[in-house]
Structure 1
Amino acid sequence: MEKIKVIIADDNSFIREGMKIILSTYEEFEVLGTCNDGREAVQYCQTEEVDVALLDVRMPIMNGVEATKLISEQTKTKPLILTTFDDDEYIIEAVKNGAKGYLLKNNEPDRIKAAIISVHNGNTVMQDIVLDKIKMSLGEKKDEVKIDTSLFTEKEISIMALIAKGLSNKEIAKQLFMSEGTIANYISTILSKGNLGHRTKIAIYYLTGKID
């Protein structure tokens, strides 16, 4: 099995080296190196074959958002942002710049592992908490949602939103870190609760608030 080549960019040496040690324990990864800032990460990706670059948001010289843009434009490397709660203002910009994933640093190692593999396989990985912050940044308040939110749980509503964006069950499962079977069960519940005939009606209902 060919290993996924990874680099880690973080100006905090404790986090950087800790992440390197953790990822090196997985046989799926080869940690090529670590970087202190975004510029180093960009240069590394320009000169070496890197599959996934784990980028901290706040770094000196060049931050993770700027590095994401250059890495996306100039290399084949897929940027995956690792962030903390206080990086809200960077989220939208990083996604616009081509970030393929956005995860909180306090995740379990297995979840970070799954995210790296998913991004390497061409998927986009966003945590619920990050999606919520994106919605808040875009000014999507709960009272602007057109559907009857009292009928559905927050998880069901987030699945409906992804269906409305055209994602398949497989894509939704990967994005929400759930199995396809679980997503299918959620969709069945949504169809039943909303008295909706099929999947397309979920999208129409979510976008318009109307069943017919």
Structure 2
Amino acid sequence: MIRILLVDDQEVVRAGLRSLIATDAGLTVVGECADGDEVVEQVERSTPDVVVMDVRMKRVDGATATAHLRAIDGPPVLVLTTFDDDDTLAAALRAGAAGFVLKSAPGEDILRAIAAVAAGDAWIDPHVAGRVLDAFRDQTPREPIDLSALTERELDVLKVIGRGLNNREAAAELFVSEATLKTHLSRVLTKLELRDRSAAIVFAHDNHIR
């Protein structure tokens, strides 16, 4: 059972998400917040596996709340965004959000995004993928590319992750277990000094690693 904390300053949005999540027997809502300044306390109280977070809130925005969660090694954050959230999207990236999904996305996609982020995958809604990549490029210094530290298997992992495959799909394609895949991915991130899976996707995309 995946435990979810909902964070949005609009009750109607939270109610809609509650109803959607209730249709999936593998998901449950364990807490809610009406603003970003409530998130850390609620995470400590309800111990969710994933936080579904709006970016625009009155007192503390989603990017700031996400940064606070990273500081306490909190659960991964799936950001709810809209088409006109470019500035807040970039801020959420810098703060370390693990996924981005449009509020207007089909319910099935939102449920899949929640499950993916809870499992340690990255999720980037295809409608905002270009903006996500642009935001990462704008904030990431260009460094000389050196892949020599990667083993052949680690390079294979980087290739499939760069194509947007989740852990289950990537492991199946490489004929390894998900645990083995996660181990290789962790080594890739360390060797290339990449912050997280989303950064690995951008790195592979920008450097045409396929």
* TM-score past 0.5 threshold: yes
1:142 is aligned to none
Structure 1 residue identity aligned to 2:72: Q
Residues 46, 168 of structure 1: alpha-carbon distance in 2 compared, 3 angstrom cutoff: same
Cα displacement (A) at 1:5: 0.4
Q: Matched residue of 2:14: which SS?
A: helix
2:89 is aligned to 91
Where do 5+ consecutive residues of structure 2 fail to align? 139-154, 174-202
Q: Distance in 2 between matches of 1:86 and 1:169?
A: 27
Q: Percent identity?
A: 27
1:130-170 residue CA offsets vs partner (Å, 9 max, x unmatched)? 2211344446xxxxxxxxxxxxxxxxxxxxxxx99934269
Give yes or no for contact 1:9–1:37 (8 Å, CA) kept in 2.
yes
TM-score, normalised via structure 2 length? 0.67
2:186 is aligned to none
Rg larger in structure: 1
Q: Matched residue of 1:7: which SS?
A: strand
Alignment RMSD, CA only?
Answer: 3.4
Where do 5+ consecutive residues of structure 1 fail to align? 140-162, 184-202
- The reply on whether 1:36 has 2:28 as its aligned counterpart is no
Structure 2 residue identity aligned to 1:47: R
How many residue pairs match? The answer is 163
Q: Distance in 2 between matches of 1:90 and 1:119?
A: 19
Give yes or no for contact 1:8–1:33 (8 Å, CA) kept in 2.
yes
- The reply on whether 1:16 has 2:14 as its aligned counterpart is yes
TM-score, normalised via structure 1 length? 0.66
1:156-195 to 2 correspondences below 5 Å:
166-168=158-160, 172-174=164-166
Q: Distance in 1 between matches of 2:122 and 2:85?
A: 19
Give yes or no for contact 1:45–1:75 (8 Å, CA) kept in 2.
no
